[in-house]
Amino acid sequence: MNEADEKREKEQAQLKFLVGLQQKDNEINDLKKSLEIIPGQIAAAQKELEGKKSKMNALQAEIDSLKKQRGQLEQDAKTEADHMAKTKTKLPTVKTNKEYTAILNETEAIKVKISEIEDKELEIMELLDAKEQEIPGLEAEFKSEEDLFKQYKQKKEAEQARAQKELAEAEAQRAALAKDIDPKLASQYDRVRKARENVAVVSIKGETCQGCHQNMQPQVALEVRMGLKVHKCQSCDRFLCFTPEPESEPQTESAVPK
């Protein structure tokens, strides 16, 4: 093997390593991104569930308040009944018509009060009944939401564990890969990747860099296409490689001539 061939082979190998490194870094990046969003997804689902729980708590608080009102009305009714009994005991001691009329008026007033209290009690009881009937439905709804949340959380935690494992593997693979690259190229790669949103190796399309869409010299494009040399884009500084475009699907409209 002559010196030129040897040099070319070395260049080709380096380019292959750079492409591999970029693929690994993309993989690592994607895994890190999904690991970043998972806790937020779980927290959002939990918040939604807590919202449902607070709806149930609000209903329970309403029921408790109605029961308290009912208790107070029962107490009031008892007080009025006592008042009535006490007023009636005065009757045998009545001496004048005026006194008699006064007692009669008083018992009438108490009757009205009792009737009002009973109306209110009835109203509260009906309301209480309606509210209590809402509980089982809400409870069942909450239970099923809670089950769904538990399943979702479990799924997300499994996803998280899997991504963590894959990330550790990908990082180990990346470290192994980086060892094979010329240290000078490796440090250029790292520098460009940091400066250019994680992308340090891009494919060309025709004579255009797919990273910055600037054209390059035809000779450069040719060498990149043939994998002869490690080139960098003059505009964006990224390493250039060539990935053939996947065959496009035949267009159904024009594929069959009429």
In the complex, which residues of this chain contact Zn ion (CB under 5 A)?
Answer: 209, 211-212, 233, 235-236
CB closer to Zn ion, 211 vs 223: 211
Going by C-beta distance under 8 Å and a sequence separation of 6 or more, which residues neighbour residue 203? 210, 240, 241, 242, 243
The first and second tokens of residue 225, run together, are 């296409």
Residues 178/9, Cβ–Cβ less than 8 Å: no
CB closer to Zn ion, 164 vs 235: 235
Shortest Cβ distance from residue 235 to Zn ion (Å)?
A: 5
**Residue 215 gets which letter from DSSP?**
B
Shortest Cβ distance from residue 198 to Zn ion (Å)?
A: 15
**Residue 92 gets which letter from DSSP?**
G
Tell me the DSSP string of 132-164: HHHHHHHHHHHHHHHHHHHHHHHHHHHHHHHHH
Shortest Cβ distance from residue 187 to Zn ion (Å)?
A: 19
Shortest Cβ distance from residue 215 to Zn ion (Å)?
A: 10
CA distances (Å), origin 48, targets 136, 139, 144, 159, 237: 20, 15, 13, 21, 47
Going by C-beta distance under 8 Å and a sequence separation of 6 or more, which residues neighbour residue 80? 110, 113, 114, 117
Taking the C-alpha atoms of residue 156 and residue 150, their distance in angstroms, rounded to an integer, is 10
Tell me the DSSP string of 168-185: HHHHHHHHHHHHTS-HHH
Shortest Cβ distance from residue 2 to Zn ion (Å)?
A: 33
CB closer to Zn ion, 24 vs 231: 231
CB closer to Zn ion, 110 vs 211: 211
Shortest Cβ distance from residue 210 to Zn ion (Å)?
A: 8
**Residue 254 gets which letter from DSSP?**
H
CB closer to Zn ion, 200 vs 236: 236
CB closer to Zn ion, 186 vs 233: 233
CB closer to Zn ion, 170 vs 224: 224
End-to-end CA distance of the chain: 57
Shortest Cβ distance from residue 224 to Zn ion (Å)?
A: 12
